[in-house]
Amino acid sequence: MTASLSVHTENLTLTVAGVEAAVRSTGDRLFVEVDTVRDGVRLARALGTDVESWVPTRALLGADLTVEVRVRGRTVFVLGAGAKPGVTSRLFDVSSAEIRPLGILAALSDGGRALRGAGRRLLE
């Protein structure tokens, strides 16, 4: 039997593997926001590929909670009760996590635009 848990937070910061992330929630879904795709990769590597046996993943499932890791407002992977693993998850051998390739591409594109904009501002 699953015991549902509701989480409400504002102004919470999480640091994993030197990556600082802002955390907000909507009750049953937590959003972990990182600044760059590079930080998202560092966070994912810190979690490891054996997410099925990872204690927080089991706790998320048991509490009926979902965590979305987002880069520049784009969801790049999902863990917990709301994750819907697909082909990409199986390719990377993370069958309990949902990897969102289009979110990753969009975050990369947004990061490239931000970098170009910063370069233009430096030259002005």
Closest to 41 in 3D by CA, of 15, 19, 56, 72: 19
Domain that holds residue 69: 12-116
Note whether residue 44 is domain-resident: yes
Note whether residue 124 is domain-resident: no
Helix (H, G, I), strand (E, B) or coil at 113: helix
The total number of structural domains that make up the chain = 1
Note whether residue 1 is domain-resident: no
At 39-92, the pLDDT tens digits run 887 887 776 655 555 557 777 888 888 989 999 899 998 988 898 988 888 887
At 38-54, the pLDDT tens digits run 888 788 777 665 555 55
Note whether residue 92 is domain-resident: yes
1 DSSP 8-state letter: -
Q: State residue 85's pLDDT score.
A: 86
Residue 49 and residue 46: Cα distance in Å, rounded? 9
Note whether residue 56 is domain-resident: yes
Closest to 19 in 3D by CA, of 34, 30, 6: 34
Note whether residue 34 is domain-resident: yes
Note whether residue 105 is domain-resident: yes
